[in-house]
Chain A
Amino acid sequence: MKRYSAFAIAKEALNNHQGWKRAWAKAQPKRKYDVIVVGAGGHGLATAYYLGKNFGIRNVAILEKGWLGGGNTGRNTTIIRSNYLQDPSAAIYEKARSLYETMSQDLNYNVMFSPRGVMMLAQTEHEVRGYKRTAAANAFQGVETEFIGPARVKELCPIMNIEGPRYPVLGALWQPRGGTARHDAVAWGYARACSAMGMDIIQKCEVTGVRSEGGRVVGVDTTKGAIDCDKLAMVVAGHCSHLAEMAGFRLPVESVALQALVSEPIKPCMDVVVMANTVHGYMSQSDKGEMVIGGGTDAFNNYTQRGSFHHIEETVRALVETFPMISRLKMLRQWGGIVDVTGDRSPILSKTPIEGIFVNCGWGTGGFKAIPGSGWGMAELIAKGHSPLTDEFGLNRFTEGRFIDESVAAGVAH
């Protein structure tokens, strides 16, 4: 892998940039791999990356139906935080957040992790209590958070109207080392690093069947032919249900569309990420200057990756109240992503009824921030059979009733 640096760019500039190699190699499937990861989104690529990096498992293929990073990795609002309430969540999200801190150096690919700080507004007494509770839990979970008052909120985010007539800001849960990163770059950086380790990233390769013998996985059928494997990781969000069906088991996952939008770019006016759950919307400003806005999920199941307008309206209305200056900005683009939601709104990182098949899905609206932690834990689960990061997120928790419910503190938005 040719290293990226300012020096390399300067050198290439004199060569009209003709010498840059492919970021990841074009690969055709081999006959057999130790591990096949289905899904070249952030989670799938991270899983493969840590399989290679932490466990030396490099005979790995990552299969992707479309283009890599084209699912929710490339259509989320790029927020990274780990101020979760429940122990298992705080553990995996904080692991992820801490890996984001060094990801650019680790991957030699600038993913632009920017710990600009994330605040979750408390606009009812109930939220105040909920966030104080979260701060109390975080203190003993190794997650740096703080409950701050309205004056500090205003200081951190001057464009906010903290004295709205309906929901004055009473305070906020503040995570100073939360922030944002460039979502596409996370997928591309991992892909490049996986490819450099000799892994095969195979795009436009859809899995059409899962083969098992005697309760053990032996391979998959794809649009590019049959491929054998010892282990198989399904990391395709809501479409895991389809893969599971091919393998002969079911998953407790539903898919719904989540709405997001960006404004036209303007000069910097907001340095932090703000989430407002009571009025229902969240906003940050990208490096390009666009206000990146996330909204709610549709109430009906679908896979269309677009979605309806009424949530956009609800979200924008709430944000115009909270940030009156955005009223004269314009919405540039809206889109939908399909989020896969479980019964307790927490992910599934688990073994399955078929030996050798592992599943990673159910991240709902909170997947992007978890990518490195999810990949780290998933790789350990695949390599060693268990991981402290994933043990609590097993499928068995639904049959045992051992839920990890974050709706308690997180409200709706992740």
Chain B
Amino acid sequence: MSTRLATQGRLINRDKRLEFTFNGKRLQGYEGDTLAAALLANDQMLVGRSFKYHRPRGILASGSEEPNALVNLGEGARLEPNQRATTTELFHGLTATSQNHFPSLEFDIGEINNSLARFLPAGFYYKTFIHPRFAWKHVFEPFIRQSAGLGKAPKEADADRYEHFYAFVDVLVIGGGVAGLQAARAAGEAGARVLLIEQEPHWGGRAPVDGAVIEGKPAEDWVKDTLQALEAMENVTLRNRMMGAGVYDHGYALGYERVADHIPGSDLPRHRLWRIRAKQIVTATGAIERPLSFAGNDIPGVMLATAVRDYVVNYGVSPGDRTVVVTNNDDAYRTALCLKRAGLDVPMIVDVRPLVTSPLATEALQAGIRVETGKGIAKVKGRKRVTGVALCLQAGEGSVIEEVKCDAVAMSGGFSPVVHLWSHCGGKLIWDEANAHFRPDPARAPTGAQGEAFVVTAGMASGAMTTGEVLADADAAGKAAARAAGFTPRRFAAPKAAEEPSEPMAPVWMMPQGASYDLRMKMWLDFQNDVKVSDVQLAAREGYESVEHTKRYTTLGMATDQGKLSNINGLAVLADALGEDIPQVGTTTFRPPYTPISMGAIAGEARGEIFQPLRRTPIHGWHEAHGAHWEPVGHWRRPYAYPKAGETVEEAVHREVLNTRRRVGLLDASTLGKIVVKGPDAGRFLDMLYTNMMSTLKVGRCRYGLMCNENGFLSDDGVVARIDEDTWLCHTTSGGADRIHQWMEEWLQTEWWDWKVYVANLTEQYAQIAVVGPDARHVLERLGGMDVSKETLPFMGWQEGKLGGFDARVFRISFSGELSYEIAVPASQGLAFWEALMEVGEAYGMQPYGTEALHIMRAEKGFIMIGDETDGTVIPQDLGLHWAISKKKEDYLGKRAQARSFMDNPDRWQLVGLETLDGSVLPDGCYAIGEGTNANGQAEMFGRVTSTYYSPTLGRGIAMGLVHNGPQRMGEVIRFGTPDKSFVEARIVDPVFYDKEGEKQNV
């Protein structure tokens, strides 16, 4: 059984007990424990069930590589599924439940899959569940979905908050073990701005656990001293509980800081996502121990040898009373010795190497531990907990020599450098034969814009295996990074460590070497996803030979640990099955993040109201106070209508239209894009941008203009006013302002960079208000201060001056067909001006109107609306806007495109008016349906409705549409199909329904 020891536990505070629950059981741990350590201390080795076979799973590791110990942490709005117990700091009141079982962890019906495992090899689901056809969706898939998945799906919105930080540094050092500390120190001493981050709450990594001696003192003391030195440096920042999550192009790195996971309910953000720009990145990310592949290596109680040591030394927890150590390298001897020192029993060290004479082995023998060389484990006994192991010859087929009783197994298959961050942005690896691992190839580092390397590895992450090598490598890495960032490193020598002589490890990918199928189908490679040696071999046999195919076919390495423990073992088995060398087979791609990061942290603060913040016109508050029914337009809200008490929205719209047509209406047009284009080449620039000639526009005049994209399609429209010799003011659609501004900048910056033009988006600097209707002039005259008569301010003219005491620019333009003035005032004056207008307008029955009344009035006049009559496939010629296309200009954007044969051909869908025969409103978005079908069996469509409204002015439905050769078909009755496949008939008519001669606007 696993239990708390009376001694050791360098990271825990035995004076502070913490209470927590696991599956409802009340348990106790100490401050400084991880959840995994506390569970082990309470003899809770069984913590979960595997993904596919629902096999019992115990704690395997002590860090972020843990594949098994995943729990539902917390409850309700603080429930987090799939949280690793090994990286969860214990806190008072923590609640955790185990995952993926029914009805309970101890008894799981899903375990039936385990008895059927023989029938459920890798990829079995590709070969079955094929018939009958409906059964996949309705029978098989729901069953599979239900038994798959791991943690519980949260039901509530997250109670916590998250934030983003930005950092700009010379050198980012990722990993706060001795390598990271030394690299940071070397870079810091050179004067570089250094950020050193460590994912654990404590510094120093493995060295203090392993008993390393640095500069003649215990690693623990060296770490303390070095930390002190780093903290004293102003140019060095230290952050623990912060993982290097990803490395991206150009020295961009993500840091994931778990600020308050261990203090839930505090007012701190739960996580912080750091977006770091670093000139150089040092990855001092250490190495991960590999499991060994022997039958039953997944039974709870089988653990990584380093993890066993961690639990004893760091937390004073013994994973078992009798632990068999099985290894192919020297390091696991440290675990055996550590257990022995803690007063625990190590019945045997099983070493696959035929002869071991290293000092560590000698020490083990001296400590009275039996060492069996050339041997392996044939099989682990037990189901929910190890009860013993069967010993065999490594070279053989697994005949049992002897059975040894034990309640834990510590295994070590060698170490793989953590190369993830190195690889994220293209760093390449080389195979290290001696240590049987992939390590970064310094000659093929990730490179920046100039081809310069921007990532350097340090310590075990480079493949260094002893403390001395680690420190030397890290020192060099820190200095190299500082140098590359433009600093001169100091000439301090790297710290020295006591020698750690060891014997070479022996790569072993299967134990025993000649294991039978029955053994191989019990050798786990991927513990969480239940991928075994036999599965990888099956994939290879079936031709899934690429390592990517094997991964995808077997799901090897696709679990939440992303293959940290399984990748190398898996591809070694694959290489063996294919008869190829491991480096030839290669690895799968390492993708960010290193370990999973919360969606909340990625989303950051921008939630609720501040998710894409609302844009408000200066008059927004007034609209709100006056009962506006809103319509979102881009990031703006615009009043759709202003329903009065007892009035429906539709009734309000009709009232607004009639009031504007008969008397006078007021529209907040502030959202209209207003872009100033200025400079000696502004006219030339606008001539290229618009289909019209803008350079000839006279100062004081306005012109309606069209903009097309390179493909000739109409993209925006609006009125352009010439302000002075060098200045034009371009109005765009509300939704188009930012896009058109970017469009202008793109052309100026990439194509016409030598033209002398500046553009500025002044949309928010002005409030713009349209006063519309027969009484519009009277209202303005009553306001006073400016002559707004027809003679002084004719249609399509503008002038500047004082209006009712306000600085105003008044445009005589109309989108309704009525006498209309659009008046721009400084944004700060917008509300006051609006209110002043409302006050003087009262005598004329003035009422505000919203966007829907605007739309109806423009449709009554046959004016097109970008986004209604256009959809990115319509050219101005389709809309009868030939008059707005200059014939004189040599070029404009879209001209060449419009000359192409299909566009130049008049045989196109063109703008017409549409009227139903009974005056009803034609359904929106419907298509004109002809007789017969096309070659693909689709009904023949020859037109569509683009805008359709009830016209209160005319008392009947009106519509606009694009119809094949429409203008030539006036009077023809055609039919439109509705989504329920019924038909409505309509007559093709002129698109101008109201005031065809334009008498009303030009008065």
Q: Which residues of A contact B (CB under 8 A)?
A: 4-6, 8-10, 13, 16-18, 20-26, 66-70, 74, 87-88, 90-91, 95, 101-102, 104-105, 108-110, 112-116, 123-126, 129-130, 132-142, 146-147, 159, 161, 164-167, 182, 184-185, 188-189, 203, 263-269, 279, 285, 287-289, 304, 306, 308-309, 312-313, 316-321, 324-335, 343-344, 388-389, 391, 397, 399-403, 405, 407-408
Closest-CB distance, B265 to chain A (whole angstroms): 15
Closest-CB distance, B536 to chain A (whole angstroms): 12
Whether a CB of chain A sits under 8 angstroms from the CB of B883 is: no
Most buried by A among B552, B555, B599: B599
> Cβ of A329 and Cβ of B154 under 8 Å apart?
yes
Instruction: Enumerate 18 A-B pairs (CB-CB under 8 Å) in ascending A order.
Output: A20-B542, A74-B548, A135-B925, A136-B925, A136-B927, A165-B608, A184-B552, A264-B150, A264-B560, A266-B152, A289-B145, A312-B602, A316-B599, A316-B603, A317-B611, A331-B602, A388-B936, A401-B901
* Binary flags per residue of B154-174, CB closer than 8 Å to A gives 1, else 0: 111110100000000000000
Report the Cα distance A5→B124, complex, angstroms: 9
Q: Which of B907-960 contact A (CB under 8 A)?
A: 923-927, 929, 934-939, 941, 944
Whether a CB of chain A sits under 8 angstroms from the CB of B368 is: no
Whether a CB of chain A sits under 8 angstroms from the CB of B29 is: no
Which residues from B are CB-within-8-Å of A334?
246, 591-593
> Cβ of A268 and Cβ of B612 under 8 Å apart?
no
Known: A20-B541, A26-B543, A408-B873. A139 touches B978 (CB 8 A): yes
> Cβ of B157 and Cβ of A13 under 8 Å apart?
no
A195 to B, closest residue via Cβ: B543
Report the Cα distance A165→B275, complex, angstroms: 27
Closest-CB distance, B70 to chain A (whole angstroms): 8
> Cβ of B938 and Cβ of A141 under 8 Å apart?
yes
> Cβ of B612 and Cβ of A166 under 8 Å apart?
yes
Q: Which of B48-78 contact A (CB under 8 A)?
A: 51, 78
Whether a CB of chain A sits under 8 angstroms from the CB of B229 is: no
Which residues from A are CB-within-8-Å of B246?
309, 334
> Cβ of A115 and Cβ of B979 under 8 Å apart?
no
> Cβ of B941 and Cβ of A137 under 8 Å apart?
yes
Which residues from A are CB-within-8-Å of B426?
304, 306
Q: Which 3 A-B residue pairs are closest in the complex by CB-CB distance? A: A289-B149, A133-B925, A401-B900
Which residues from A are CB-within-8-Å of B904?
401
Name 8 extra pairs, CB < 8 A, besides A287-B148, A325-B157: A5-B130, A16-B521, A87-B936, A87-B938, A124-B633, A304-B426, A306-B426, A325-B158
Question: Size class of B's contact patch?
Answer: 35 or more
Known: A136-B925, A188-B126. A401 touches B902 (CB 8 A): yes
> Cβ of A116 and Cβ of B137 under 8 Å apart?
yes
> Cβ of B593 and Cβ of A109 under 8 Å apart?
no
Total A-B pairs, Cβ < 8 A = 337
Report the Cα distance A16→B151, complex, angstroms: 33
Known: A23-B543, A112-B136. A320 touches B82 (CB 8 A): no
Q: Which of B155, B924, B936, B944 contacts A389 (CB 8 A)?
A: B936
Closest-CB distance, A153 to chain B (whole angstroms): 17
Which residues from B are CB-within-8-Å of A146?
979
Report the Cα distance A31→B278, complex, angstroms: 53
Closest-CB distance, B510 to chain A (whole angstroms): 16
Whether a CB of chain A sits under 8 angstroms from the CB of B651 is: no
Q: Which of A130, A182, A189, A316 contacts B602 (CB 8 A)?
A: A316
Known: A20-B538, A22-B543, A102-B133. A263 touches B599 (CB 8 A): yes
* Binary flags per residue of B558-601, CB closer than 8 Å to A gives 1, else 0: 00101000000000000000000000000001011100111110
Report the Cα distance A313→B592, complex, angstroms: 13
> Cβ of B127 and Cβ of A266 under 8 Å apart?
no
Which residues from A are CB-within-8-Å of B604?
313, 317
A203 to B, closest residue via Cβ: B546
Known: A268-B145, A320-B607. A343 touches B711 (CB 8 A): yes
Which residues from B are CB-within-8-Å of A329?
81, 154, 598-599
Whether a CB of chain A sits under 8 angstroms from the CB of B534 is: yes
Report the Cα distance A91→B938, complex, angstroms: 8
> Cβ of B897 and Cβ of A401 under 8 Å apart?
yes
> Cβ of B548 and Cβ of A70 under 8 Å apart?
yes
Known: A70-B546, A115-B137, A140-B939. A266 touches B126 (CB 8 A): no
Most buried by B among A21, A95, A289, A389: A289
> Cβ of A401 and Cβ of B128 under 8 Å apart?
no
Known: A23-B542, A137-B927, A331-B602. A13 touches B145 (CB 8 A): no
Q: Which of B548, B929, B937 contacts A142 (CB 8 A)?
A: B937
Whether a CB of chain A sits under 8 angstroms from the CB of B995 is: no
Closest-CB distance, A18 to chain B (whole angstroms): 8
Q: Which residues of B contact A (CB under 8 A)?
A: 51, 78-82, 118-119, 121, 124-131, 133, 136-137, 141, 144-146, 148-158, 160, 246, 248-249, 252, 254, 275, 424-426, 517-518, 521, 534, 538, 541-544, 546, 548-549, 552-553, 555, 560, 562, 589, 591-593, 596-600, 602-604, 606-609, 611-612, 614, 631-633, 711-713, 735, 867-868, 871-873, 897-898, 900-904, 923-927, 929, 934-939, 941, 944, 977-981
Report the Cα distance A74→B923, complex, angstroms: 42
Known: A13-B118, A265-B560, A334-B591. A105 touches B133 (CB 8 A): yes
Which residues from A are CB-within-8-Å of B538?
17, 20
Closest-CB distance, A72 to chain B (whole angstroms): 14
A266 to B, closest residue via Cβ: B153
> Cβ of A266 and Cβ of B82 under 8 Å apart?
yes
Report the Cα distance A115→B78, complex, angstroms: 33
Which residues from A are CB-within-8-Å of B897?
401
> Cβ of B154 and Cβ of A328 under 8 Å apart?
yes
Report the Cα distance A11→B249, complex, angstroms: 51
B605 to A, closest residue via Cβ: A317
> Cβ of B128 and Cβ of A6 under 8 Å apart?
yes
Which residues from B are CB-within-8-Å of A141?
938-939
> Cβ of B600 and Cβ of A320 under 8 Å apart?
yes
Q: Which of B141, B552, B903 contacts A287 (CB 8 A)?
A: B141
> Cβ of B82 and Cβ of A265 under 8 Å apart?
yes
Which residues from B are CB-within-8-Å of A22?
541-543
Report the Cα distance A335→B603, complex, angstroms: 18
Closest-CB distance, B936 to chain A (whole angstroms): 4
Q: Which of B79, B136, B544, B868 contacts A110 (CB 8 A)?
A: B136
Q: Which of B158, B248, B591, B612 contacts A328 (CB 8 A)?
A: B158
Known: A112-B141, A116-B137. A264 touches B542 (CB 8 A): no
Known: A140-B941, A264-B150, A333-B591. A401 touches B712 (CB 8 A): yes
Which residues from A are CB-within-8-Å of B901?
399-401
> Cβ of A139 and Cβ of B599 under 8 Å apart?
no
Which residues from B are CB-within-8-Å of A130?
925
Report the Cα distance A312→B273, complex, angstroms: 13
> Cβ of A129 and Cβ of B151 under 8 Å apart?
no
Which residues from A are CB-within-8-Å of B254?
309
Known: A265-B148, A325-B156. A140 touches B927 (CB 8 A): yes
Report the Cα distance A317→B709, complex, angstroms: 31
A138 to B, closest residue via Cβ: B979
Report the Cα distance A17→B604, complex, angstroms: 49
Which residues from A are CB-within-8-Å of B145?
268, 285, 287, 289
> Cβ of A308 and Cβ of B248 under 8 Å apart?
yes
A308 to B, closest residue via Cβ: B248
Closest-CB distance, A395 to chain B (whole angstroms): 13
Which residues from B are CB-within-8-Å of A113?
136
> Cβ of A332 and Cβ of B612 under 8 Å apart?
no
A167 to B, closest residue via Cβ: B632
Report the Cα distance A263→B149, complex, angstroms: 11
A104 to B, closest residue via Cβ: B130
Report the Cα distance A67→B121, complex, angstroms: 23
Closest-CB distance, B553 to chain A (whole angstroms): 8
Report the Cα distance A9→B78, complex, angstroms: 44
Q: Which of A10, A125, A140, A400 contacts B938 (CB 8 A)?
A: A140
Q: Which of B150, B544, B607, B868 contacts A23 (CB 8 A)?
A: B544
Q: Which of A17, A21, A26, A147 contacts B534 (CB 8 A)?
A: A17
